[in-house]
Structure 1
Amino acid sequence: MSITFQVLGTADGDNAMFVQVDSGQSVERLLFDCGEGCLSSLPFGEILSLDQVFFSHLHMDHIAGFDSFFRATFNRTSKPNQLWGPPDTARILQHRFQGVLWNLQEEMTGSWRVCEVHPEEIQSARFELPEAFATRHEEAPRPRQRVIWEGVGVTVEAVTMEHRTPTLAYIIREKPRRNVDLTRLAALGLRPGPWMKNLKEASESATTVEIEGSMHSLEDLREKLIVETSGDTLAYLTDFLLDEAAMERLILALQGCRVIVCEGQYRHSDLDLAKKNFHMTTVLSATLAQRAQVDELVLFHLSDRYGREEWLEMLAEAREIFPNARFPTHWELGNA
Structure 2
Amino acid sequence: MAIRFRVLGAAGSDNALHVEIDSGHAVSRLLFDCGEGCLGALAPSDVLAIDHVFFSHFHMDHVAGFDGFFRMNFAREGNNNRIWGPPGTGKILHHRFRSYLWNLHENLGATWRVSEIGETEVQTWRHELPEAFETAHEEAAMVREGRVILEEEDFIVEAMALDHLTVSMAYKVTEKTRWNIDPERLAALGMRPGAWLKSLKDPVALPDDAMVEGRRAGELRAELLVATPGDSVAYLTDFLLDEAAAAKLVPWLSGCGHVVCESQYRVADVELAQKNYHMTSAQVATLARDAGVKELVLFHVSGRYVAEERAALLEEAREVFPGARFPEGWM
Normalised-by-shorter TM-score class: over 0.9
SS of structure 2 residue aligned to 1:21: strand
Partner of 1:271: 270
SS of structure 2 residue aligned to 1:201: coil
Partner of 1:218: 217
Number of residue pairs matched?
Answer: 329
Using the TM superposition, give the Cα deviation of residue 27 of structure 1 relative to its aligned residue in structure 2, in angstroms. 1.4
Using the TM superposition, give the Cα deviation of residue 208 of structure 1 relative to its aligned residue in structure 2, in angstroms. 4.0
Partner of 1:317: 316
4+ aligned runs moved over 6 Å, structure 1: none
Structure 1, unaligned runs of 5 or more: none
2:51, 2:202 → 1: CA distance?
Answer: 23
Using the TM superposition, give the Cα deviation of residue 40 of structure 1 relative to its aligned residue in structure 2, in angstroms. 1.1
Partner of 2:168: 167
- Which 10-residue stretch deviates more, 141-150 or 260-269? 141-150
2:272, 2:106 → 1: CA distance?
Answer: 50
2:57, 2:220 → 1: CA distance?
Answer: 47
Residues 79 and 111 in structure 2, CA contact (< 8 A), matched pair in contact too: no
**1:296-334, CA deviations, whole angstroms, 9 ceiling, x for partnerless residues?**
110000110111111111111111111111100122x1x
Partner of 1:257: 256
For 1:180, the aligned partner's letter is I
2:132, 2:254 → 1: CA distance?
Answer: 43
SS of structure 2 residue aligned to 1:309: helix
For 1:199, the aligned partner's letter is L
2:297, 2:233 → 1: CA distance?
Answer: 11
Distance 1:80 1:270, change over 3 A: same
Relative to the length of structure 1, the TM-score reads 0.94
Using the TM superposition, give the Cα deviation of residue 78 of structure 1 relative to its aligned residue in structure 2, in angstroms. 3.4
For 2:292, the aligned partner's letter is Q
Relative to the length of structure 2, the TM-score reads 0.95
For 1:17, the aligned partner's letter is L
Partner of 1:3: 3
**1:70-124, CA deviations, whole angstroms, 9 ceiling, x for partnerless residues?**
1111111133311100011111112221222110101210111111111222111
Using the TM superposition, give the Cα deviation of residue 161 of structure 1 relative to its aligned residue in structure 2, in angstroms. 0.2
For 1:285, the aligned partner's letter is V
Q: CA-atom RMSD, angstroms?
A: 1.5
% of aligned pairs identical?
A: 54
Partner of 1:98: 98
1:219, 1:26 → 2: CA distance?
Answer: 28
For 1:38, the aligned partner's letter is C
Partner of 1:24: 24
1:80, 1:260 → 2: CA distance?
Answer: 25
1:288, 1:300 → 2: CA distance?
Answer: 15
1:17, 1:330 → 2: CA distance?
Answer: 15
Residues 208 and 215 in structure 1, CA contact (< 8 A), matched pair in contact too: no
Using the TM superposition, give the Cα deviation of residue 204 of structure 1 relative to its aligned residue in structure 2, in angstroms. 4.2
Using the TM superposition, give the Cα deviation of residue 25 of structure 1 relative to its aligned residue in structure 2, in angstroms. 3.2
1:188, 1:301 → 2: CA distance?
Answer: 54
For 2:228, the aligned partner's letter is T
Structure 1 residue 66 corresponds to structure 2 residue 66:
yes
For 1:192, the aligned partner's letter is P
Structure 1 residue 136 corresponds to structure 2 residue 136:
yes
Using the TM superposition, give the Cα deviation of residue 157 of structure 1 relative to its aligned residue in structure 2, in angstroms. 0.6
* Alignment map for 1:1-336 (pairs within 5 Å): 2-145=2-145, 146-204=147-205, 208=210, 214-331=213-330, 333=331
2:255, 2:185 → 1: CA distance?
Answer: 28
1:295, 1:122 → 2: CA distance?
Answer: 30
1:76, 1:202 → 2: CA distance?
Answer: 36
Residues 34 and 64 in structure 2, CA contact (< 8 A), matched pair in contact too: yes
